[in-house]
Structures are given as structure tokens and as C-alpha cells.
Amino acid sequence: MDDNVLVEKMKAGDKESFDILYERYQNRLIRTAYLITGNYSDSEDIVQETFVKCYLHCNELKNNSGFKPWLYQILTRTAWQYGKKRSRELPDEEIEKKAERSDEINSLDLILKSEQSAKICEAVRKLDIKYRVVVVYYYYSQMSTKEIAKACELREGTVKSRLFAARKQLKKEMHEIMEKEELRDGKIRGKNHPGYV
Amino acid sequence: MEKYEERIIRAMYEEGNKITPSEALKDRIDREINNIEWKRMEEKRSMRKFHIKKFVVAAVAACFVIPTAVFAGGTVTGYITGIGGYHEFKSYDEMDQAKEKTGFDFSSVEEFSNGYSFNNMQVGTVDKMDENGNRFGTFNEWTGSYTDESGNEVSLYINETLPQDETDAAEEPHDRRDMNGVTLNYAENSYMFVPADYELTEEDKEFDAQPHCYISYGSDEVEHSIFRHVTWDKDGVHYDLFAKDSPLEMEDLYEMAGEIIGE
């Protein structure tokens, strides 16, 4: 069923439509929140608050077709608040979860790539939150600068300039990470090659 | 797109896709929504039933969770609560549908002459609770909210008149008058809301012992409120016009009630 229809039904108090929308957006939102905060429990809290506000305030959404940017707008505001008040320290549970996930990855190549990906995401998280949000929305959520402007309640020009500044900062760090990655990739490929002695 | 940007995307997908919400998250969301909705309803509802025996809000409809805040306006029992089958209507034009949901006909107005105008309405089910907190029946209730330009609110509660033994007034109203053959009762109740673990002082006990003064447990902090009601029964329907901490005085509420009766 189309989002618009579900939103209309949710506005009329239909809980089932809300449940379907939750199913549809839960992964996207928690992953976005996680990439912004780097903290699993914060991400869950942010998504919880986002959906609660979504249900309780859905009648304030005038145009049903604007549901997705509106939902991200709530997420942005909430993540922003969390970003300001929370430290980046991972709780113990978080460390355990990361360890569990690492155990699941068993090939050396995957481990290295995963490590590099984690470093890249860490580099993103080092950005100031105003740049970080824009970067996550642009690269991960694949939103246009116009959509980001709506979600972040900014002018499109501001989004573009933040993206520019973020790219500049990331490019430096990425250069180093990618150089190491290419070097390792080369070694691994060489080692696994049938002609390797 | 430059190569490093492609790598950022890949990294984000690799990292992001490892994350899924916990199974408990949806339950937490539903519980919080229910709690907030329940509190909203309860704020309006729990303190207004002067015409009903002193009440205890003890349970909610099966589909909703037990709320954390439980207001008890006295020692006995009575009724109330339950937001199962709750429907909200934003437009006065939907009155026919709302009445259909309520299951009976009644009088109402869209705008009062003092400037209070229709804001929204809800139809819900109220549970009747026995002394042990068991549900022994339900009735439908229509609730309308009206606001003035400054945002002051007055509510109107309408349900079918309940049997006398269930609506036995705990206390005499402050004032009573006839209007077009209908008897209107006016009551002004003072409430003190206190946290669940609050220990009453001697002064509090004296307050509680006075007529039309109640202490209710379950709020986050100590709060005082005044509730003014005008209630009446007409054609088998019970009306309760209710204002909390409002600039509306007794005469204002009588006048508004008169407009509903004359509708």
C-alpha cells in the first residue's frame, strides 16, 4: 500500500497503518541514526522518539506525500538533541554487540574491509553534527540536497556548502584510509594468486 | 562521483546494514504512545466525575497497557477508564459519524456565544469498574473540546444516563437551577495531585476532609487544580460541561449549558 494512503489512515487513528509504516521505515531510520550517533542504544532511543512523535503529531502533516522528509525532519531534530547531550562512549552492551558482529565475519579480507569501513564511518562521525547529518543523508539515505534541506530545515544552499566543507575534510582522511586499503588489497590478492610463491 | 565518495557509501552500507532494531523497540514505542494518549485522556477524565461515586482509576481496556500514573480520587470505587475503540474527529462536519459511533443522539453546538468554538471530538468506551477493580460493563462517551482565542479550553462529556445506583452523587452540588424544565447542577471541586509516595501533612488531611476537595495520587509533582462542572440530564442523555483552571465562572458555564439545551 502506498505511503500516502497509510498516512491518511494513520491520521484517522488507524494503528495498523502506523505499524506498516514502522515496518517500512524502521531499518532505514535506525541505520541512519546509528551512522549519525555511532551508538546503538542512542539510535534505538532516537527511533523510538521519532515514531512516537510521528504517531502523535501525524495530523500536523498537511501534505501526505511529504511524509518521508517530515519523518526525517523529526529524526534530525531528535538526533541533534541526542548528539548534543550524549557522549560518544559506547556502553558495555554496545561493545559486546560489536564483538558479536565481528565474530560473524570470518574471512581475513572481510575483516580488513570491515575494519576500513568502520574507520571511514568513524571519520564521518568525527565531523561536527551539522556536517555529519548532511553527509549521512546524502551518501547513505541517498537524499537530494533539496530533500536534505527539508529534513534539516535549512536552505538548499546551506546544505550544499555543508556538503562541500564535509567532503573537503573527509577527502583528507579518506586518502590515507584508501591508500592502506589498496596496499592491503594488493597483498591479499597477491598472496591468494595461484602463481604466488 | 569521486572514488572516495563511492567508498564512503560502501562503508556506510556495510556498517549500517549490520544494525537492526531490537524486537523490543516496537513494544516500547507502542507502550509510550499508549501512555501518552492515556494520560491525555485521563487528565481530562479522572477528575471530573463529581456526579459519579468517588472513583478509582484502576485499569484500562485490554488492548492498552496499565498506566504508570494512577489517580485515585478517594477511597471507594466506581468506574472509569478505558480508551478502547477510541476515535478522534477533527471537524464538526463529522458530527453525524461521531454520533453513529456513540450510538445515541444528543445536542451540541459548534460555537458558543462567548467565543468558545469547536476544536475536536472523540468517541470512546468507558469501563465500569467494581470495588475490586474488575470491569463489569462499558458505556460509550462523546467528548468535545472547545477553545477560545486565548487557548482556554472547555470540555463537554456526553453519555447515556446511567442507572441511579451507579451515578449516586457523593456530594451535593454547590448550586442548582432549572432551565427550560431541565435541572442543572453546578459543582466546583479542588484537587491536589501528589506523587504516589507522597506523605500527607496535617494540612493536606484537613484539605481532603473538606467537601469538594480531593487528593489524587499519581502525578509527578504536587499540583493544585480547580474543576468547575455544570451537569444535567435530558432525554436519557447525561451532559457534563467541564472547565479546568479556567477563567470561566459558574454563570458562564450555565450560559453555555443553556445554549446546548436550547440547540
Q: How many CB atoms lie within 10 A of CB B163?
A: 7
| Stated pTM of the model | 0.51
Asked if residue A91 belongs to a domain, the reply is no
Q: Do A123 and A66 lie in a common domain?
A: no
In chain B, residues 13-42 whose CB comes closer than 8 Å to chain A: 13-22, 25-26, 28-29, 32-33, 36-37
- Check residue B158 and give its pLDDT: 93
Q: For chain B, give the percent of residues with pLDDT over 90.
A: 33
Closest CA–CA distance from residue A13 to any residue of chain B (Å): 7
Q: Do A187 and A131 lie in a common domain?
A: yes
B11 closest CB neighbour out of A30, A47, A117:
A117
Q: Which of A31, A104, A25 is nearest to B12 (CA)?
A: A31
pLDDT in tens, A79-90: 888 876 664 444
B12 closest CB neighbour out of A59, A139, A171:
A139
Asked if residue A90 belongs to a domain, the reply is no
Question: Mean pLDDT throughout A56-80?
Answer: 89
Q: Which residues of chain B fall below pLDDT 70? A: 38-86, 127-136, 164-171, 196, 217-220
Asked if residue A170 belongs to a domain, the reply is yes
| Separation of alpha carbons A154 and A162, rounded Å | 11
B25 closest CB neighbour out of A44, A114, A167:
A44
Asked if residue A21 belongs to a domain, the reply is yes
Q: Do A80 and A16 lie in a common domain?
A: yes
Q: B105 by DSSP, 3-state: which?
A: coil
Q: How many CB atoms lie within 10 A of CB A180?
A: 13
Cβ B14 vs Cβ A113: under 8 Å = yes
| Separation of alpha carbons B8 and A162, rounded Å | 16
Q: Do A117 and A76 lie in a common domain?
A: no
Residue-range definition of the domain harbouring residue A41 = 3-85
Task: Kindly report the backbone phi and psi dihedral angles of residue B216, in degrees, each rounded to the nearest multiple of 5, phi listed first.
Answer: -120, 130
Half-sphere exposure of B20 (CA within 13 A, CB side): 6
Out of A31, A55, A85, pick the residue that ends a domain.
Answer: A85
CATH of the domain at A179: 1.10.10.10
- Check residue B194 and give its pLDDT: 78
Q: Do A63 and A109 lie in a common domain?
A: no
pLDDT in tens, A108-153: 545 556 677 888 888 898 898 889 999 999 999 989 999 999 888 8
Q: Are β-strands B182-194 and B213-217 bridged in parallel, bridged antiparallel, or unpaired?
A: parallel
Closest CA–CA distance from residue B220 to any residue of chain A (Å): 21
Out of A85, A118, A148, pick the residue that ends a domain.
Answer: A85
Cβ A91 vs Cβ A97: under 8 Å = no
Q: Hey, of A121, A138, A179, which one would you mutate to test binding to chain B, going by the most B CBs within 10 A of its CB?
A: A121
Domains: count for chain A:
2
Q: Do A56 and A133 lie in a common domain?
A: no
pLDDT in tens, A166-180: 998 888 888 777 777
- Check residue A185 and give its pLDDT: 60
Q: Measured between CB atoms, does A24 come within 8 Å of chain B?
A: no
Asked if residue A96 belongs to a domain, the reply is no
Q: Measured between CB atoms, does A169 come within 8 Å of chain B?
A: no
Q: Do A32 and A71 lie in a common domain?
A: yes
pLDDT in tens, A1-59: 788 999 999 988 888 899 999 999 999 999 999 999 888 888 999 999 999 999 988 88
Question: CB under 8 Å to A68, separation ≥6 — which residues?
Answer: A3, A147
Asked if residue A95 belongs to a domain, the reply is no
Asked if residue A99 belongs to a domain, the reply is no
- Check residue A95 and give its pLDDT: 40
Q: A133 by DSSP, 3-state: which?
A: helix
Q: Do A127 and A185 lie in a common domain?
A: yes
Cβ B160 vs Cβ B237: under 8 Å = yes
Q: Do A109 and A152 lie in a common domain?
A: yes
Of the pLDDT bands very low, low, confident and very high (cuts 50, 70, 90), residue A187 is: low
Q: Do A188 and A109 lie in a common domain?
A: yes
Asked if residue A51 belongs to a domain, the reply is yes
Q: B171 by DSSP, 3-state: which?
A: coil
Q: Do A109 and A79 lie in a common domain?
A: no
Task: Kindly report the backbone phi and psi dihedral angles of residue B176, in degrees, each rounded to the nearest multiple of 5, phi listed first.
Answer: -145, 140
Q: Do A29 and A71 lie in a common domain?
A: yes
Amino acid identity for residue A41 in this structure: S
